Amino acid sequence: MTWQMFMAYLSSMLTKESLLGVINALYSNSDVAAAAFNAKSVGVSESLAILLPQVISKARALGFIMAIVFNVPCTMTVAAIYRENHSAKWIVLSIGYYVAFSLAISCVFYHIGLLIW
């Protein structure tokens, strides 16, 4: 992953909706705050839609999608795990499992994508 994609990966741990805003903010040349907070309502800029296929290969995009799909669900899910178990140990184990599994599956799908494309 590029550093921009990894930052989007990390922000998606908090909320999946922030992913589009972070990618839009990091890859666009516009105002970062406006791009991040308005991405959900306004959408992705046209220049970003043209730029992303040039910067991110198909195999890398496939691996990134798999990393996002299998990433930590959201902060509310983590809070529910804590509310049910009352254990910080389970929180750390579940977050560690999600991160390790999502990055491992991302690597596998990236290499599959390299074989396909």
pLDDT digits (tens, 9 = 90+) for 6-20: 998 988 888 888 788
Q: Which residues contact 38 (CB under 8 A, 6 or more apart)?
A: 21
- Record the pTM: 0.79
Cα 96 to Cα 82: distance, rounded to the nearest angstrom? 15
Are residues 102 and 115 both part of a single domain? Answer: yes
Please count the structural domains in the chain: 2
Are residues 43 and 63 both part of a single domain? Answer: no
Residue 26 near residue 7, CB atoms below 8 Å = yes
Per-residue pLDDT, averaged over 62-74, amounts to 92
Are residues 71 and 43 both part of a single domain? Answer: no
Are residues 115 and 64 both part of a single domain? Answer: yes
Are residues 61 and 115 both part of a single domain? Answer: yes
Are residues 76 and 108 both part of a single domain? Answer: yes
Domain ranges, residue 90 = 57-117
As given in the structure block, the two tokens for residue 19 are 């992913």
Start-to-end Cα distance in the chain: 17
> What per-residue confidence (pLDDT) applies to 76?
85
Per-residue pLDDT, averaged over 48-53, amounts to 80
Cβ neighbour number for residue 96 with a 10 Å cutoff? 11
Per-residue pLDDT, averaged over 89-105, amounts to 93
